[in-house]
Amino acid sequence: MCLGIPGRITAITDEGRMMAMADVSGVRREVSVACVAGADLSALVGQWALIHVGFAMAIIDEDEAEKTLQALRDLGEAQETLEMMRASDLALEGRS
Protein backbone atom coordinates (compact mmCIF):
# COMPACT_ATOMS: atom_id res chain seq x y z
CA MET A 1 0.00 0.00 0.00
CA CYS A 2 1.24 3.47 -0.81
CA LEU A 3 0.92 6.02 1.95
CA GLY A 4 0.99 9.76 1.33
CA ILE A 5 1.08 12.02 4.38
CA PRO A 6 0.26 15.73 4.41
CA GLY A 7 3.20 18.01 5.10
CA ARG A 8 3.67 21.78 5.04
CA ILE A 9 6.38 23.19 2.77
CA THR A 10 8.55 25.37 5.02
CA ALA A 11 11.39 26.47 2.73
CA ILE A 12 12.89 26.08 -0.70
CA THR A 13 16.27 24.40 -0.16
CA ASP A 14 17.56 24.10 -3.74
CA GLU A 15 15.67 25.96 -6.44
CA GLY A 16 17.71 24.44 -9.28
CA ARG A 17 16.93 20.88 -8.19
CA MET A 18 13.34 21.83 -7.16
CA MET A 19 13.90 20.70 -3.57
CA ALA A 20 12.12 22.00 -0.50
CA MET A 21 11.93 21.34 3.22
CA ALA A 22 8.62 19.94 4.43
CA ASP A 23 7.35 19.53 7.98
CA VAL A 24 5.47 16.24 8.24
CA SER A 25 3.90 16.12 11.71
CA GLY A 26 7.02 17.56 13.32
CA VAL A 27 9.52 15.64 11.18
CA ARG A 28 11.48 17.82 8.77
CA ARG A 29 12.16 16.16 5.45
CA GLU A 30 13.68 17.43 2.20
CA VAL A 31 11.34 16.62 -0.68
CA SER A 32 11.21 17.17 -4.41
CA VAL A 33 8.56 19.68 -5.45
CA ALA A 34 9.03 19.03 -9.18
CA CYS A 35 5.55 17.46 -9.43
CA VAL A 36 3.82 20.52 -7.96
CA ALA A 37 6.16 23.36 -8.97
CA GLY A 38 4.97 26.40 -10.82
CA ALA A 39 7.06 29.24 -12.16
CA ASP A 40 7.60 30.69 -8.66
CA LEU A 41 8.81 28.04 -6.22
CA SER A 42 8.61 30.47 -3.31
CA ALA A 43 4.81 30.41 -3.70
CA LEU A 44 4.91 26.84 -2.34
CA VAL A 45 6.23 27.94 1.07
CA GLY A 46 3.43 27.59 3.60
CA GLN A 47 1.39 25.31 1.34
CA TRP A 48 0.28 21.83 2.34
CA ALA A 49 1.28 18.96 0.07
CA LEU A 50 0.68 15.25 0.00
CA ILE A 51 4.16 13.74 0.55
CA HIS A 52 5.07 10.25 -0.67
CA VAL A 53 8.60 8.75 -0.71
CA GLY A 54 10.36 12.10 -0.88
CA PHE A 55 8.07 13.77 -3.40
CA ALA A 56 5.35 16.37 -2.97
CA MET A 57 2.70 14.70 -5.14
CA ALA A 58 -0.17 17.20 -4.88
CA ILE A 59 -1.00 20.50 -3.20
CA ILE A 60 -3.89 20.15 -0.75
CA ASP A 61 -5.71 22.67 1.41
CA GLU A 62 -5.21 22.86 5.18
CA ASP A 63 -8.65 21.42 5.96
CA GLU A 64 -7.97 18.36 3.80
CA ALA A 65 -4.52 18.01 5.39
CA GLU A 66 -5.96 18.05 8.92
CA LYS A 67 -8.71 15.55 8.05
CA THR A 68 -6.21 13.23 6.39
CA LEU A 69 -3.77 13.41 9.31
CA GLN A 70 -6.57 12.64 11.75
CA ALA A 71 -7.75 9.69 9.68
CA LEU A 72 -4.19 8.35 9.52
CA ARG A 73 -3.76 8.77 13.27
CA ASP A 74 -7.01 6.92 13.80
CA LEU A 75 -5.73 4.07 11.66
CA GLY A 76 -2.35 4.05 13.40
CA GLU A 77 -0.48 4.15 10.10
CA ALA A 78 0.88 7.65 10.45
CA GLN A 79 2.73 6.90 13.66
CA GLU A 80 4.49 3.87 12.20
CA THR A 81 5.53 5.77 9.08
CA LEU A 82 6.72 8.79 11.08
CA GLU A 83 8.78 6.54 13.35
CA MET A 84 10.45 5.01 10.29
CA MET A 85 11.15 8.52 8.93
CA ARG A 86 12.64 9.62 12.28
CA ALA A 87 14.81 6.49 12.39
CA SER A 88 16.08 7.08 8.86
CA ASP A 89 16.81 10.74 9.67
CA LEU A 90 18.79 9.71 12.75
CA ALA A 91 20.68 7.10 10.74
CA LEU A 92 21.56 9.68 8.09
CA GLU A 93 22.83 11.98 10.83
CA GLY A 94 24.82 9.10 12.37
CA ARG A 95 22.85 9.16 15.61
CA SER A 96 21.14 5.74 15.45
Query: Using N-to-C axis directions, what is the helix angle for 77-93 and 62-75, rounded to 10°?
Result: 100
Q: Look up the pTM and report it.
A: 0.75
Measure the CA–CA gap between 41 and 39, rounded to whole angstroms: 6
Report pLDDT for 25.
85
DSSP string, 24-88: ETTEEEEEE-TTT--S-GGGGTT-EEEEETTEEEEEE-HHHHHHHHHHHHHHTHHHHHHHHHHHH
CATH number of the domain bearing residue 79: 2.30.30.140
Query: What's the domain range around 69?
Result: 5-93
pLDDT above 60 for 1: no
What is the tally of structural domains in the chain? Answer: 1
User: Could you read off the pLDDT of 18-39 as tens digits, one per residue?
Assistant: 999 999 988 999 999 999 998 8
User: Could you read off the pLDDT of 75-96 as tens digits, one per residue?
Assistant: 777 677 778 888 888 787 776 5
